[in-house]
Amino acid sequence: MRAAPARQRLGSGKVMHLGEDIMLARHGDRIAELRQDRKHDITIARLQGGRTDWVSNKLVDMTPRITDSPVARMGRLADDFKADKLSIKRDEARFLAKIGAVWGGVVVALGGGILWMTYNTANPELLQVMMTTPGF
């Protein structure tokens, strides 16, 4: 089971990620800028001295992932794909699917063409000789 990202609501309705809270505890008023990396689910802080620091927005999950069902894993994978958190972007996946469909069409057309040519040009006498003569 995957741990949900820890977030707390602020008074103005803004969500504060766990990573922001940890960064404030670590560096306090030395933080120049905080930003969220949704793909990796981390908070990145740029400090006043020019250094950067990052921390995860999730608590460590101590339960083993073996208990997850394949359906639950595929559901999480689909959610991560929708949120664009995977290493492959949605546009890239669409492009690869289109290329795969075109390639599949080419393969079917070539296979059909080969079968049609074989059917129309095959010599039945030559086929009979090939099947009955040993070592041909």
- Asked whether 19 and 43 are in contact (CB, 8 A), the reply is yes
For residue range 46-97, list pLDDT tens digits in order. Answer: 999 889 998 988 877 655 556 678 888 888 888 888 887 888 888 888 899 9
- Residue 88 has a pLDDT of 82
- Residue 70 has a pLDDT of 83
For residue range 79-93, list pLDDT tens digits in order. Answer: 888 887 888 888 888
* pTM (global) more than 0.85: no
- Both tokens of 9, joined, read 């609501």
